Each structure stands twice: as C-alpha cells, then as structure tokens.
Amino acid sequence: MAHGAKRLAEAVKGELSGECLCGAVRYTLADGFRLNPYACHCTDCQTRTGSAFSQHMLFRIDDLTVEGELDVAEYRQPSGAEASIFGCAKCKARIYAINDTREGFGSLRCGTLHNSNEVVPAAHIWVRSKQPWIALPRDAKTMDANPETAEEWVNLLGIAGQ
C-alpha cells in the first residue's frame, strides 16, 4: 500500500469526532460503514464555502451522534438531488448534509473533523467546474460531475479502512 493510501486508511477508520468552529456542536461518528473522503469542486460547494472546493465523506447516518443545537437549510444540488445541510445554529459552520438520492447516508464535512489535517481525498468530483489554479495530483481519481449510483460511489471512493 502506498504511503498516501495507508495514511488515508488510518485517518478515516475507527471512531471519529469533530466540532463546529465555536465548539457549540460536537459530534462522534461511530466506527461503521463509510466511504473514503472526496473533494467536490462544484460551484455550489465553492459558493457555500467561499473557497475552491469542499471535502466530504459519505457515512451511515445512524452512526452519527450530535450534541448541540443544529439548524438546517434546504437546497437543490447540481445533480438535481434535494438536500438538507445541518450546521451549528450559533456559528453557522456546516457539519453534514443528507439528500433524497442516498437514503440512510449523510455527507460529513471533513474540515470539521478533529483530525482533518490527516484526511486526504480519495477522489475529486465535479472537476469540470474546478478552479483553474487548483492542480490535482497526476494519479488523482476524477469525475467531471458526480457518481449517480451507489455502485459508482463505492467504485470511485472505496470503503473506508479497506
């Protein structure tokens, strides 16, 4: 296993924890089924974060325990999915999202993890709208848009810890 792949596998296995910017919302993601993290370069993620991309990890929603007050916003994703994004009611940092195409799963914002500096994207999606000054590694897995089926998500990202 390459050093980067080993580092990724270690960073996203086991119980994970994180919090919002102000610390009012804390969460634990139990050890369970999840996919490796990915970077999304869609224009919605760029606008929502005020940055060039957003980093996510798909997980079973039943594995998430949240303490603190969350607010929710609803929107339509570039893929057409109807989504709800949950974040801190106080500082507005976004923690996770759900959508109507991935029942039972959520998408965690990896920047809120306590070990976020160890999390390396397994793939990059929506690269057709990637900022031109972002250089991806030569061997990076990429997609112009996003996977459409559960099988495509698993094939692109792989199961965390494996």
Q: For 95-137, what is each residue's pLDDT tens digit?
A: 999 988 888 999 999 999 999 988 889 999 999 999 999 999 9
Q: What is the pLDDT of residue 10?
A: 63
Confidence grade of residue 1 (pLDDT, cut at 50, 70, 90) = very low
pTM of the model: 0.85
Q: Indicate the domain borders of the chain.
A: 3-157
Q: Tell the CATH topology of 3-157.
A: glutathione-dependent formaldehyde- activating enzyme (gfa) (3.90.1590)
How do residues 46-80 score in pLDDT, each as one tens digit? 888 889 999 999 999 999 999 999 999 998 877 78
Please, how many CA atoms are within 13 Å of residue 161, restricted to the half-sphere of its CB? Answer: 10
Q: What is the pLDDT of residue 9?
A: 54
How do residues 5-33 score in pLDDT, each as one tens digit? 545 556 677 789 999 999 999 999 999 89
Q: What is the pLDDT of residue 50?
A: 86
Confidence grade of residue 161 (pLDDT, cut at 50, 70, 90) = confident
Burial of 97 (0-12, 13-18, 19+ CB in 10 A): buried
